[in-house]
Structure 1
Amino acid sequence: MATFELGPGARPLVRTVPSQASADGAGVKIQRVAGFQSPDFSPFLMLDEIRSDNADDYIAGFPPHPHRGIETLTYMLSGEFEHRDHLGNRGAVSSGGAQWMRAGRGIIHSEMPAQPEDGSGAAMHGFQLWINMAAADKMAAPTWRDIQAGEVPEHALDDRGSLIRLVTGHWQLGESTESGPLTEAAAEAAVADIRLAADAEARLPVPAAHSVLVFVYRGALLTERGQTGRGNLLLYGAGESLQLRAGEQGAGVLCLHGRPLNEPVVHYGPFVMNSHAEIEQALRDYNNGTLAG
């Protein structure tokens, strides 16, 4: 197996967190990595992966449910999801597209997968990230946005087919700063889909003050601690850049960076606030019909 050595200023791998089998919504099977109480995750809170060729695993979807205090980002590699909310927003994204939702003070929405027209199973592979909002912004007005696949810029990383798709935020590529179609996500959150050819290596400058996380969804990455395969989230330490190297089968990863919020996190179901009193208020507001008023 090839060896891996960090270059000067590259961020070291601090720990690896395997995703866990779970279910959510109306029984949708997912793989989840949660970090609500982990400062090194901030501003990210959770990553869910939906990956199945069997429609029975996901077709029941996520019927109407509330949120307060977070943003969500859904990114699809294959399959299609439709969003509807109490504000009247409605839209669907499919392979290569994304949806961003700022729950703010409160939103009630549903996320439902498309039903295959012939009734057969269909490949579904996608992710949802929960991004924390700063305390000062948690009661902001809710909003939502579709990002279709054609809006997501792609940049070659080498001449072997390696590429980066910029979904959100700002990224330093060579001598220039490039941006995804969404730059208003909370805490300067940036998300990119990076696909590396076999044994390919990429080095990306990242803001020194930001947290950096990488989720492996295909193939494997080589690290200074050994090889890490699909279904693992990697958390990195301090440094000026992120150095990635694919294994012999190549790799597909979601790369995340964002500004840590360094604020208390209290989580209960679909609500993420800064105190138990705020959670109790969210529950009262939902039960009396004023959460999304």
Structure 2
Amino acid sequence: MQDFTLRPGARPLLRGVASQASADGAGVKIQRVAGFQSPDFSPFLMLDEIRSDNADDYIAGFPPHPHRGIETLTYMLNGEFEHRDHLGNRGAVSTGGAQWMRAGRGIVHSEMPAAGEGGMHGFQLWINMAAADKMNKPTWRDIQAAEIPELPLDGQGSQIRLIAGRWTIDGEDKSAPLTDAAAEAAVADIRLAEDAEVELPLPAEHSALVFVYRGALVTERGAIPRGNMLLYGAGESLQLRAQDQGAGLLCLHGLPLREPIAHYGPFVMNSREEIEQALRDYNNGTLTD
């Protein structure tokens, strides 16, 4: 095991959660990490990874379906998805871009991939909404690759792409294109060079999670390979160190929502009664009214 000494103030690793093979939509093959009932995940609920060179694994996509009570953030490392919804929104996001959707009271949308060379590699993150906001008006936006700031983290070639929220990089406050996600949710794509080590300041009151999508991350509990979500404890910063092949990471932080969660399919509310109401609203056609 490689030596790793946690610096004073750096967040300790609490545990790792391995992603699980699953399928969603019209049979799209995914790797999923779910934490609906885990306080350590809050305000995040779930992360899906689509990663395949075979179009048969994803081309059927996600035909029209509803949501209520959450926000979704889709981020593409490779490939293209097109979004359409009942509000008339339509837009495509491709390699390096992202899409954000606030379901609020209710939205019906589809997410359909484009078949292209090089396969598909991307993520969808579910973010919980506070109870007081869950019935707000739905909205959506594209964030194209050129809008996402890409900043150096060291002199070795390590970089960070700021997708959502606010970050402190090299002592300076930086904002991503999306700053109004629920619960101050922040998302960044970090690419660490071989054997690189960086330390990122984070708000002490926020939760912190890291998904390893390439290479491996060295921690005080050993090396964690790709396909794992890491959940961190209290502290003022994240200390991240790659193995000799480098690492690709999705780094998440946000304000925990200390509220009950009731989850059924595409709906996330605060009680079973609210879930039943969402089902009634969808079935009688009033979910999106």
Match of residue 30 from structure 1: 30
Q: Is the CA contact (8 Å cut-off) linking 2:69 and 2:134 kept in structure 1?
A: yes
SS in 1 for 2:63: strand
Q: Aligned pair 1:137/2:133, yes or no?
A: yes
Q: Is the CA contact (8 Å cut-off) linking 2:148 and 2:161 kept in structure 1?
A: yes
Match of residue 278 from structure 1: 274
Q: Is the CA contact (8 Å cut-off) linking 1:108 and 1:292 kept in structure 2?
A: yes
Q: Kindly provide the amino acid, as one letter, of the partner of residue 225 in structure 1.
A: R
SS in 1 for 2:260: coil
Match of residue 210 from structure 1: 206
Match of residue 40 from structure 1: 40
Identity across aligned pairs (percent)? 80
Q: 1: CA distance between counterparts of 2:102 and 2:198?
A: 32
Q: Is the CA contact (8 Å cut-off) linking 2:2 and 2:222 kept in structure 1?
A: no
SS in 1 for 2:285: coil
Alignment partner for residue 156 of structure 1, among 152, 168, 181?
Answer: 152
Match of residue 21 from structure 1: 21
SS in 2 for 1:39: coil
Match of residue 191 from structure 1: 187
Structure 2: runs of 5+ lacking an equivalent:
none
Matches within 5 A, 1:26-175: 26-116=26-116, 122-175=118-171
**Deviates further, 67-76 or 158-167:** 158-167
Q: Is the CA contact (8 Å cut-off) linking 1:163 and 1:196 kept in structure 2?
A: yes
SS in 1 for 2:243: strand
Q: 2: CA distance between counterparts of 1:176 and 1:161?
A: 19
State the 1:123 CA deviation: 1.3
* RMSD of equivalent CA atoms: 0.7
Q: Deviations over 1:222-265 (max 9, x none)?
A: 00000000000000000000000000110000000000000000
Q: 1: CA distance between counterparts of 2:194 and 2:106?
A: 44
Q: Is the CA contact (8 Å cut-off) linking 2:208 and 2:254 kept in structure 1?
A: yes
Q: TM-score, structure 2 length as denominator?
A: 0.99
Q: Deviations over 1:182-219 (max 9, x none)?
A: 00000000000000001000100000000000000000
Q: Kindly provide the amino acid, as one letter, of the partner of residue 221 in structure 2.
A: R
SS in 2 for 1:182: coil
Q: Kindly provide the amino acid, as one letter, of the partner of residue 213 in structure 2.
A: Y
State the 1:161 CA deviation: 1.0
Q: Is the CA contact (8 Å cut-off) linking 1:55 and 1:122 kept in structure 2?
A: no
